[in-house]
Amino acid sequence: MQKTPAGLPAYLQGIPVTRIFIAAFITQFCMGFEVLLRLNAASSIKHDFFDATNPLTSGAMIGEVLGVLFLGFAIANFFMAPLVDAIGLRRTHVLSILVYLVGTFTVTSASPESPWAYQLLWGGSLLQGLAWGSIEAALNPLVVSIYPTRKVHRLNLFHAAFALGMLVAAPACVMVEKLALGWKPQLVLVAIPATLALVMIAQVKYPPSERVAQGVSFSGMFRHTLTRPAFYLFLCAMFLTSATELVPSSWIDLTLTRIVGIQGFWLVAFIYTVQIVVRLFTGVMYRHIGSSGILFFGCLFSFVGLALLSQATSPGSGLFAALLFGMGTSVLWPTMLASTSERFPQGGSLAIGITASAGMLSTYVLMPAFGKLFDQAKIASAGGSAAFEALKEGTAAHNQVMVDAAGSIFHTASFLPLVVVVFFAGAWLYDHRRKRSASARVTFASGQAET
């Protein structure tokens, strides 16, 4: 590919790369910001809409409302991924932000008295998920296209914005609660950074994606992606790594609060603070152990963290477990996407999009399953449905039941990364041998040339 004098690919000449990346960063910040706002509001939504009418299944119902966000993400990412180049990266970016805001206001329009309350909560969350999936379908290939030689580092930095959004949302939640504004005002706070992102991308020219710039056809993108057996192995790995990060995190505010005695979403914020720090150093890690090595250690740390979370009984043990969990999960999602782009470069947005869809689909499938697991565990711990209904919320007996149920959530989740550790160990070994073999061939060729 022809280079400009500045060292950039020709298709990036005249493109405001830094401005585009900052706008993408702010948009991703919005996604993380709203996710924690939703998690913090989940307890209130569960109490206002489900506990009074469906106490035995309220966990599953809030799990469905939380989980449909990820279904929408998976659907949009799957169908939008091959189309974003035709629609336009900038156009997709703008429209997706607008749809996300519509979904947010749909959720906040629900009230317990309305016969359509569940439909508004579920439908609004679905719209948010569809918009989020479209955003990722456009911005992941955009980032790897504007930084074609630094994919792993820049994609990790881009996704650090999600963690930063989670971190900033934590004090915002505290402020809203102190002012007793309720859960609806906190959800609409996302409109502030979303508007800033829209202003930044106004009148900005976006480059073509890397796949388009390389001249790979639409059919070639499908052929290069869907005919590679290794691609399907990475889809399975993404299914498990995504669930490792997102499913337990989505239940921390509902469960871990009762285990360690501190607000669960503060633990979530702590986890994502760790993620920001770790993602800043992925470039250094990549130079030493490559993407497979990063993923191997990420899964290993995640397993240990979840196993310890299932046994946490104090703030200290909870924070230590959350530290390990945060260190492990910090690299999973962005490095999986960057690794996919590296291994299947001609797959373009399709390869990245399908991989991301597999990740969110796993969350949609497993979120309600973990909700049912929690419901079953709390009933079993109480000694039956009637015994659980007789418990008064806030009592020592009720809290102990919740502690037992929470432990089962994290114990079961710990097996997800354990399965993938073996896969990435094999991939790391394969990459190491291939790199060593390539280096040996270069050395041999140089020696032959000298003689």
Enumerate domains of the chain plus CATH numbers: 12-201+218-436 (1.20.1250.20)
Report the range of poorest mean pLDDT among 11-20, 185-194, 228-237: 11-20
Spatial distance between the Cα atoms of 64 and 368, rounded to a whole number of angstroms: 6
Output the pLDDT for position 337.
93
Paired strand residues for 74: none
As a whole number, mean pLDDT of residues 360-365 equals 82
Paired strand residues for 9: 3
Structure tokens at 85: 């180049």
Whether 163 has a pLDDT exceeding 70, the answer reads yes
Give the closest residue to 352 by CA, choosing from 340, 365, 363, 342.
340
Whether 270 has a pLDDT exceeding 80, the answer reads no
* pLDDT class of 132 with cuts at 50, 70, 90: very high
CB atoms within 10 A of CB 441: 10
* pLDDT class of 2 with cuts at 50, 70, 90: very low
Report the percentage of the chain scoring pLDDT > 90: 40
Output the pLDDT for position 28.
96
Report the range of poorest mean pLDDT among 89-103, 177-191, 251-265, 383-397: 251-265
Regarding predicted confidence, which is higher, 52 or 75?
75
Q: What is the DSSP letter of 263?
A: -
Give the closest residue to 159 by CA, choosing from 324, 333, 305.
333
Output the pLDDT for position 89.
93
Paired strand residues for 332: none
Spatial distance between the Cα atoms of 162 and 23, rounded to a whole number of angstroms: 13
Entry pTM = 0.79
As a whole number, mean pLDDT of residues 321-343 equals 91
Q: Are 173 and 163 in contact (CB under 8 A)?
A: no
Q: Are 62 and 93 in contact (CB under 8 A)?
A: no
Output the pLDDT for position 52.
67
Regarding predicted confidence, which is higher, 59 or 426?
426
Structure tokens at 181: 């504004």
Output the pLDDT for position 444.
43
* Amino acid (one-letter) located at 406: A
CB atoms within 10 A of CB 208: 16
Spatial distance between the Cα atoms of 91 and 195, rounded to a whole number of angstroms: 15
* Amino acid (one-letter) located at 411: H
Whether 303 has a pLDDT exceeding 90, the answer reads yes
Mean pLDDT (the chain) is 85
* pLDDT class of 1 with cuts at 50, 70, 90: very low
- Three-state SS at 3: strand
Quick one: CA torsion of 384, 385, 389, 393, rounded to 10 degrees?
60
* pLDDT class of 265 with cuts at 50, 70, 90: low
Query: For residue 442, with 0-12 CB atoms within 10 Å meaning exposed, 13-18 middle and 19 or more buried, which class applies?
Result: exposed
Which residues lie below 8 Å from residue 345, measured CB to CB, with a gap of 6+?
Answer: 210, 211, 214
Nearest 5°: the CA angle 274, 280, 284 is 120
Quick one: CA torsion of 235, 237, 241, 242, rounded to 10 degrees?
10
Spatial distance between the Cα atoms of 144 and 410, rounded to a whole number of angstroms: 34
Nearest 5°: the CA angle 117, 80, 231 is 115
Regarding predicted confidence, which is higher, 317 or 265?
317
Each residue's pLDDT tens digit, 402-436: 777 878 888 899 999 999 999 999 999 988 888 77
Paired strand residues for 3: 9
Q: Are 349 and 77 in contact (CB under 8 A)?
A: no
Query: For residue 440, with 0-12 CB atoms within 10 Å meaning exposed, 13-18 middle and 19 or more buried, which class applies?
Result: exposed
